[in-house]
């Protein structure tokens, strides 16, 4: 939980009227591996209503999908190493996988 904004969920995005159920499932899923997960149940109902009013659904035709990596490669090696250590310390499977990808990328850069 953010100490500054305790009622604000972390930076993941969703969209989509069975909306509260969808939002609850997303929150539960994406917060599951975090030591102090955020929960809709602890939030002020008026805050949740404002969130729901801000979520919109849309349809889009996808013509092409390209994968990209954003693994802090624009930062120096020391900072990347600290990010890797922090990701590993959180203990979540997704965080460990990102840390491994970052480590592989750092190792490749050393070989170049």
pLDDT, tens digit (0-9, with 9 covering 90-100), for 28-75: 888 888 888 888 788 888 887 887 777 777 777 878 888 777 788 778
- Helices 45-54 & 19-31 angle (0-180, nearest 10): 100
- Residue 4 confidence (pLDDT): 35
Percent of the chain with pLDDT over 90: 3
Structural contact between residues 95 and 88, judged by C-beta atoms closer than 8 angstroms: yes
- Residue 8 confidence (pLDDT): 43
- Residue 111 confidence (pLDDT): 55
67 versus 82: the higher-pLDDT residue is 82
Query: Which has the closest alpha carbon to 23: 43, 52, 1?
Result: 52
Cα separation of 73 and 97, whole Å?
Answer: 16
- Residue 9 confidence (pLDDT): 44
- Residue 5 confidence (pLDDT): 37
């Amino acid at each position: 939980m953010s100490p500054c904004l305790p009622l604000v969920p972390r930076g993941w995005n969703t969209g989509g009227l069975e909306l509260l159920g969808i939002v609850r499932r997303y929150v539960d899923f994406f917060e599951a591996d975090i030591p102090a997960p955020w929960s809709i149940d602890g939030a002020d109902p008026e805050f949740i209503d404002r969130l729901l009013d801000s979520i919109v659904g849309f349809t889009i035709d996808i013509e092409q999908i390209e994968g990209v990596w954003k693994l802090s490669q624009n930062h120096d090696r020391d900072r990347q190493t600290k990010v890797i250590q922090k990701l590993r310390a959180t203990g979540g499977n997704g965080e460990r996988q990102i840390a491994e990808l970052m480590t592989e990328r750092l190792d490749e850069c050393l070989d170049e």
